[in-house]
């Protein structure tokens, strides 16, 4: 699953509105790098175009409103960086069967014969 979100604008007004809230898509799982890159590009392109439309619409709506104390979309703050340990998953086939509860609830393994 891919979620592509592109935001354009500045601290005062950005595109996170309406169609500017990103694009969700399903990625190919067959290991084809070109297909994966193509799908990511299409989703990012669609998100960018949606962000442009959303920012235009938002600016248009804001011109129609008379706000006494406008609030910025973002506050300036120091960047925070956090890097956690790399997750590693190692599963043996026998462990999966045991954890999945095969044999419970009337499920039985069938023999190959």
Reported as a single tens digit per residue, the pLDDT across 22-36 is: 999 988 888 889 999
pTM as predicted: 0.64
**Residue 25 phi, psi dihedral angles, 5° rounding:** -150, 160
d(CA 11, CA 94): 53
pLDDT of 111 reads: 53
Specify which residues 25 forms β-bridges with. Answer: 2
pLDDT of 50 reads: 95
pLDDT of 3 reads: 93
pLDDT of 14 reads: 93
Residue 106 per-residue DSSP state: T
List all residues 6 or more positions away from 17 whose beta carbon is below 8 Å from its beta carbon.
54, 55, 57, 58
Reported as a single tens digit per residue, the pLDDT across 74-97 is: 889 998 998 889 888 776 766 655
Reported as a single tens digit per residue, the pLDDT across 13-65 is: 999 888 889 999 988 888 889 999 999 999 999 999 999 999 999 999 988 98
8 Å CB contact between 53 and 19: yes
Helices (H) and strands (E) in the chain, counts: 2, 3
């Amino acid at each position: 699953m891919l979620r592509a979100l592109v935001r354009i604008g500045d601290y005062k007004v950005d595109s996170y509105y309406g169609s500017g809230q990103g694009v969700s898509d399903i990625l190919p799982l067959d290991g084809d790098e070109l297909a994966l890159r193509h799908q990511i590009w299409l989703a990012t392109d669609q998100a960018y175009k949606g962000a442009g439309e959303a920012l235009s619409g938002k600016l248009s709506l804001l011109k129609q409103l008379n706000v006494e104390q406008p609030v910025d979309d973002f506050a300036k703050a120091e960047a925070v960086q956090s890097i956690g340990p790399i997750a590693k998953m190692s599963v043996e086939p026998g462990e999966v069967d045991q954890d999945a509860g095969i044999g419970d609830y009337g499920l039985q393994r069938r023999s190959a014969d």
